Amino acid sequence: MKFDQPATINPIDRGKVVGIPHDRIDGPAKVTGSAPYAYERHDVAPNAAYGWIVGSAIAKGSIKSIDSRDALAAPGVLAVVTHENAGPLGKGSMNTAYLLGGPKIEHYDQALALVVAQTLEQARDAAKLVRIDYAQEAGKFVLAAEKDTAVKPPAGFGGDPDSAVGDFAGAFGKAAVKIDRTYTTPDHSHAMMEPHATTAAWLGGRLTLWTSNQMIAWAVKEMALTLKMKREDIHVMSPYIGGGFGSKLFVRADAVLAALGARAAGRPVKVALARPQIPNNTTHRPATIQRIRIGADRNGVIDAIGHECWSGDLPGGSPETGAMQTRLLYGGKNRMTAHRLATLDLPEGNAMRAPGEAVGLLALEIAMDELAEACSVDPVELRIRNDVQYDPEAGPGRPFSSRKLVECLRQGADRFGWAKRNPRPGQVRDGRWLVGMGMAVAFRNNLVGKSGARVKVDGKGGVIVETDMTDIGTGSYTIIAQTAAEMLGVPLEAVQVRLGDSKFPESAGSGGQWGANSSTAGVYAACVAARGILAQKAGFNAEDATFEDGMIKSGGRSIPLKQAAGREGVSAEDSMEYGDLDKAYAQATFGAHFCEVGVDMHTGETRVRRMGGAFAAGRILNPKSARSQVIGAMTMGVGSALMEELIVDPRFGYFVNHDMAEYQVPVHADIPDQDVLFVEELDDKSSPMKAKGIGELGICGAGAAVANAVYNACGVRIRDYPLTLDKILRGLPEPAFA
């Protein structure tokens, strides 16, 4: 099925199952521990051995020699895999560095060996006996030091890295009010609960992986490239994933080395990255330096807006596209964005929690707050004055498919009590706490991708949906079941969903906020095909048939769904493909964040007191799981604002705080109250579901709302994230210490 015209009225619009809050159908399996994760597949690999990765102790250089004899002689050791005995290996198209290094070393903790043993403890202990002699080279590890060497990267996922409309420099120079500020964000780690983990087994020349991966079809393709195998000889399964946030979009060292270890040992092998290995061995969000210039009239109406973003990565890597949202978010006739990429010898940078917009809005939305103050305009009103209903780079000929940002701003402000905010910083006290409010806009592009599914209806009226779509904790099982139930007119309990298997039809996968809308649209297409077969078997015209209450109805006649399916059942498969509506219409999701914080006037400690947000993201398929997604993302925004930071050791080129004890993320006590409002919206140009993504929107702008609240509370403007208390203390007036 192809979606190339705006959606009309269809069965999803009935809203009997879709759009209703439902508990997660996979919830009982999760809370009882019966949902097996990759490392727990003892049922399929009962005699598995264990692998432990040996990572590089240097950031750049080469291996002079590697001696694994002592490790091989250790108790229980079955094999040691290195570049010397792994056989010919390629590199996946989505990996910047080789997943098994040697002799060249590209970053600290790059996997150089895998020790396989009977037990985990034996593998871990023997790994210490692998002797590696290095030829170390000097590396580049600090973005600020390499900023001037950064170059324009090639066009990538977001298109051309630079854009220009009008005369930005001239308009900015003539503007009545100017903001010219530089903001910095640090390296970030994904910090998901489940580590990267894989169980691998060979049968003849065929490989089976039970792994933790967000994109099943990508995993098959990348493993085939890496191991130089045929895709049809690789079977990947990932039915349950304990979080990924982008780090599991791509095959990582656990999967490749588990496969190599299993081949070397002649039995299944399990490999899980220990928590301290994850920040340096896998991917992270790169640090950024962002310069934002805004020129406006004295009423705050923007005429010139420019956003430049510098980031770093290994050779062949990609930039953090922090300026992309600035192309679409606010009006202004004269515009400029640019991205520059420096070569750094740090571990690989890649997609993490709303790549681009998450850090871009950390900068842009403080700049907008600073503009509001300079113009003496309320921050909410300033953003309303600069709303634009079309792509401001392309002009009115490319309108937004749906844009309810103003509604989000007004409804969110009213619900939060924004009118009570004192615009003068440092004026509100609650005991020793200085109290302030801040806000920021949320924006995230709406992306869709081809997605397929198979739908089966059996002779009892039960429905089975199969697709390689994954559930990374987002609720995919439930919204897919809701879609099938709505389309086929059966209760939710009658639908069984099977996910995360490369033998199932290829879906769009989980990532980039495209998963829910795309995968349910694929199920929609398969259900349309199934409805056609069922209606024909029932003697009805498929266009006229209604599916509801377990019946097929048409022209005053009705027969049970199970009767139409017959004893042999019905199976249908289809994919949803997309035309060029995204070219004719700008498609995005919007929201408004509001935050109240307290800043201790003696210590500079910041505490979030409450958060609120209003969001417009098309049809909300399951308000319960969508709210869960948004509050989780808002929590991540608090982390970005106040605590998350990978510390680079500039001598040795590695992230020092590489565990959960020292890489701080918010906990329950940090987030006392969160309120979420979904602004009613249907987007008929997004998909037949009339939905859009929601999973990453909540992090976009949330951190800036916190930062702006801190400024309103105590008058200290910080442009270098995170806003740790030492930075706040430096700006507090002397009486704060009295």
Torsional sign, CA 374, 376, 378, 380: negative
Q: What percent of the chain has pLDDT over 70?
A: 99
CATH class as words, domain 2-35+448-579: alpha beta
Instruction: Give start and end residues of each alpha helix (H) in 581-715.
Output: 581-584, 623-642, 702-714
Taking residues 681-701, report their average pLDDT.
98
Instruction: Give start and end residues of each alpha helix (H) in 286-431.
Output: 357-375, 379-385, 405-416
Cis peptide bond N-terminal to 103, omega within 30: yes
In order of 154, 249, 547, 629, the CA distances from 499 in angstroms are: 35, 16, 25, 20
Interval 379-425: pLDDT, tens? 999 999 999 999 999 999 999 999 999 999 999 999 999 999 999 99
Q: Is 52 exposed, middle or buried (0-12, 13-18, 19+ CB in 10 A)?
A: buried
Helix (H, G, I), strand (E, B) or coil at 617: coil
Half-sphere exposure of residue 461: CA atoms within 13 angstroms, side-chain side: 18
Place of tokens 């995170």: 722
In order of 106, 260, 701, the CA distances from 435 in angstroms are: 47, 56, 20
Q: Of 131, 85, 84, 79, which is closest to residue 103 (Cα–Cα)?
A: 84
Give φ, ψ of 168 to 5 degrees. Answer: -60, -50
Taking residues 68-94, report their average pLDDT.
97
What is the pLDDT, as a whole number, of residue 43?
A: 93
Decide: 482 and 17 in contact? Cβ < 8 Å: yes
The neighbouring-strand residues paired with 497 are 465
Interval 149-160: pLDDT, tens? 999 999 988 899
Six-digit token string for 535: 């209606």
Give φ, ψ of 402 to 5 degrees. Answer: -165, 130
Taking residues 195-201, report their average pLDDT.
98
Interval 303-318: pLDDT, tens? 999 999 999 999 999 9
What is the pLDDT, as a whole number, of residue 157?
A: 83
DSSP string, 405-430: HHHHHHHHHHHHTGGG--SSTT--EE
Taking residues 210-225, report their average pLDDT.
98
In order of 35, 222, 506, 680, the CA distances from 695 in angstroms are: 22, 25, 21, 17
Q: Where in the chain is the domain with CATH 3.90.1170.50?
A: 44-138+201-274
pTM for this prediction = 0.97
Give φ, ψ of 114 to 5 degrees. Answer: -130, 125
Q: How far apart are CA 373 and CA 417, in angstroms?
A: 20
Confidence of residue 735 (pLDDT cuts 50, 70, 90): low
Interval 594-604: pLDDT, tens? 999 999 999 99
Q: How far apart are CA 112 and CA 134, in angstroms?
A: 12
Interval 629-639: pLDDT, tens? 999 999 999 99
Average pLDDT value over all residues in the chain: 97
What is the pLDDT, as a whole number, of residue 158?
A: 83
The answer, yes or no, to whether residue 551 has pLDDT greater than 50, is yes
The answer, yes or no, to whether residue 516 has pLDDT greater than 80, is yes
Q: Of 345, 378, 275, which is closest to residue 594 (Cα–Cα)?
A: 378
Q: Which residues are catalytic?
A: 696
Max CA pair span of the chain: 85
Decide: 607 and 675 in contact? Cβ < 8 Å: no
Give Rg (Cα) of the chain: 27
CATH class as words, domain 44-138+201-274: alpha beta
The answer, yes or no, to whether residue 738 has pLDDT greater than 80, is no
Interval 32-55: pLDDT, tens? 999 999 999 999 999 999 999 999
Q: How far apart are CA 295 and CA 178, in angstroms?
A: 5
Torsional sign, CA 366, 368, 370, 376: negative
Taking residues 692-710, report their average pLDDT.
98
Taking residues 673-698, report their average pLDDT.
97
Q: Where in the chain is the domain with CATH 3.30.365.10?
A: 2-35+448-579, 387-445+587-737
Taking residues 572-583, report their average pLDDT.
97
Q: Of 571, 488, 540, 527, which is closest to residue 1 (Cα–Cα)?
A: 527
Place of tokens 């006996």: 129
Q: What percent of the chain has pLDDT over 90?
A: 99
Six-digit token string for 106: 């590209």
The answer, yes or no, to whether residue 61 has pLDDT greater than 50, is yes
What is the pLDDT, as a whole number, of residue 703?
A: 98
Interval 359-372: pLDDT, tens? 999 999 999 999 99
What is the pLDDT, as a whole number, of residue 737?
A: 46
Q: Which CATH architecture has domain 387-445+587-737?
A: 2-Layer Sandwich (3.30)
The answer, yes or no, to whether residue 736 has pLDDT greater than 60, is no
Q: How far apart are CA 215 and CA 212, in angstroms?
A: 9
